[in-house]
Amino acid sequence: MSDTLTHVDPETRIGHVHLKVSDLERSVKFYTEVMGFDVMARLGDSAAFLSAGGYHHHLGLNTWESAGGSPPSPRNTGLYHFAILVPSRRELARALQRLAEHRWPIDGASDHGVSEAIYLRDPDENGIEIYVDRARDAWPRDTAGNLVMYTRPLDLNALLAVLEE
């Protein structure tokens, strides 16, 4: 079988995320004020579409089947987290600063060799990773050239110091 039939095109990207939430206004407030997204469109009081930079939407939020609902148990299957790729380490630092200013708790922060990431949960307990990739030529590799990812603590003070440069 040809490679074109067995592999996804390398230019493929994963698009927007659409989340079921229990309280639309609470979620819109979190994603606009804490995370910094803009509301692009609304469908009455049941859905909102949010974006960075004027795109039609990166995030969809709705209460169509979930108004007043509760988060799934950690032992259930489903979304572990979705990831938001920011364009620079400075933008990752700005995201951390916004979280701190809003006193929003984080679950952790990691250096994975290929990227640096901050982990948190939204008001409905949906996991979020905010991350920045390192340049591909800086990714850690073993002597055979294989990618070597790891999880080490991310120095948050050093990350925030980027904002002072």
Residue 8 lies in a domain: no
Is pTM beyond 0.85? Reply is: yes
| Residue 12 confidence (pLDDT) | 81
Residue 7 lies in a domain: no
Query: Is the domain of 84 the same as that of 61?
Result: no
Kindly write down the DSSP assignment for every residue of the chain, as one continuous string. Answer: --HHHHS--TT-----EEEE-S-HHHHHHIIIIIS--EEEEEETTTEEEEESTT-S-SEEEE-TTTTT--PPPTTS-S---EEEE-SSHHHHHHHHHHHHHTT--EEEEEE-SSEEEEEEE-TT--EEEEEEEPPGGGS-B-TT--B----EE--HHHHHHGGG-
Query: Is the domain of 84 the same as that of 160?
Result: yes
Query: Is the domain of 141 the same as that of 102?
Result: yes
**What domain range is 31 assigned to?**
14-65
Give the total number of structural domains in the chain.
Answer: 2
Q: What CATH number is associated with residue 137?
A: 3.10.180.10
Residue 134 lies in a domain: yes
Query: Is the domain of 86 the same as that of 57?
Result: no
Query: Is the domain of 40 the same as that of 117?
Result: no
Query: Is the domain of 86 the same as that of 123?
Result: yes
Q: Looking at the DSSP assignment, which residues form a beta bridge with residue 120?
A: 106, 128
Query: Is the domain of 98 the same as that of 157?
Result: yes
**How far apart are alpha carbons 97 and 130 in whole angstroms?**
12
Please report, in tens digits, the pLDDT of each residue of the chain (165 residues total). 455 677 888 888 888 999 999 999 999 999 999 999 999 999 999 999 999 999 999 999 999 999 999 998 888 888 899 999 999 999 999 999 999 999 999 999 999 999 999 999 999 999 999 999 999 999 999 999 999 999 999 999 999 999 998
Last residue of a domain, one of 65, 91, 107: 65
| Residue 124 confidence (pLDDT) | 95
| Residue 2 confidence (pLDDT) | 55
